[in-house]
Amino acid sequence: MFHFEYNRKSKSFDAWFKFLRTYFPLKLCKYHLKALADFESISDSSIIVYRNELYLRLVFKTKEKQLSTNNTLGIDLGIAKPIACSDGKQFGSGAFIKNKKTEFGKKRSRNQKLKDQITLKQSNWTNDLNHKLSRRLVDYCCSQGIDVLGLENLKGNHLANKRFRRYTWAFKDLIQKITYKAQNAGLKVVGVDPAYTSQRCHRCGDISKDNRQSQSKYQCGNCNLIFNADINAAKNIQYLTVLNGSQCESDHGSFKPEAKLALAT
């Protein structure tokens, strides 16, 4: 019943919206123009009614962007710092997250009748924080000229097994948000095997579970390197990313931008 077509001929408007054989010209804002800059084809669409307004929802494919350099950044997701980069940059505060989760838990204990609302509020807060963390990381990559982003390919029991890593945060959601934001910014995302990345010394390659002495401290028993544990793991991920980058694309899935265009009141 409806059809969207990007206009590349006229400068007076940006797109055509066809509804019941009638064409309507659309003038798009800067955000939508940027999103549609590499428009290739539409994979899904629908019309949504929200607060007496009509919205056109588009899920579209974009053209592949060619990489000019091969600057690679390894990313480790941890407890002390949610995001640790191989170049030493860190994002977020594990202590802040722990305190907020404790506050939500106390509120649920005191207000059992409102526990569902409090849980929903916590979920929204978690989602918002992951959006902000992933955006800060991707913006940092763009400012530093990073072309390739290396992430641990964490799946299934890797996220739930406490003996593997004491995850207390929505890391699967954070990985997904980092991935689609990075891909939308033109970065290549490579997933690597997380085995031994927290135990291996990035300088000499020695692997031992005793090397990880605490949540934040890493000390190699072979070369006596003392390093931040999360950044050491991120450097190992960076090495594996460079090693595997030419052979494997992202294992975290492909996320394409979704644009919502207001049509009429």
pLDDT tens digit sequence for 100-151: 989 999 999 999 889 899 999 999 999 999 999 999 999 999 999 898 999 9
List phi, psi (to 5°) of 83. -130, 120
Give 12 or 230, the one with higher predicted confidence. 230
| Sign of CA pseudo-dihedral 58, 60, 66, 67 | positive
- 199, 163 in Cβ contact below 8 A? no
pLDDT of 234-262, one tens digit each?
A: 999 998 888 875 444 444 443 333 444 55
pLDDT value at position 138?
95
Among 242, 245, 152, 151, CA closest to 195: 152
**159-213 confidence digits (pLDDT tens):** 444 443 444 568 888 999 999 999 988 888 988 888 889 889 998 889 988 888 8
The residue type of 55 is Y
The pLDDT value recorded for residue 165 is: 45
Q: Residue 180, Cα to own-chain centre: how many angstroms? A: 6
Give the pLDDT of residue 73: 92
**Residue 168: its pLDDT value, please?**
52
Residue ranges with strand state E in 115-155: 148-152
Q: What is the rounded average pLDDT of the residues 4-16?
A: 78
Answer whether 169's CB lies under 8 Å from 209's CB. no
pLDDT given at position 245: 53
Q: What is the DSSP letter of 63?
A: P
- Beta strand pairing call for 2-6 and 188-192: unpaired
Minimum mean pLDDT range among 8-17, 23-32, 34-43, 227-236 = 34-43
pLDDT for 7 equals 75
**Listed residue (64, 70, 260, 211) closest to 149, CA to CA:** 70
Q: Is the pLDDT of residue 92 over 60?
A: yes
Q: What is the pTM of this model?
A: 0.64
Q: Centre a 10 Å sphere on the Cβ of residue 246 and count the other Cβ atoms it contains.
A: 8
pLDDT single digits (tens) 32-64 = 877 777 777 777 778 888 888 888 887 877 766
Residue 86: pLDDT over 80: yes
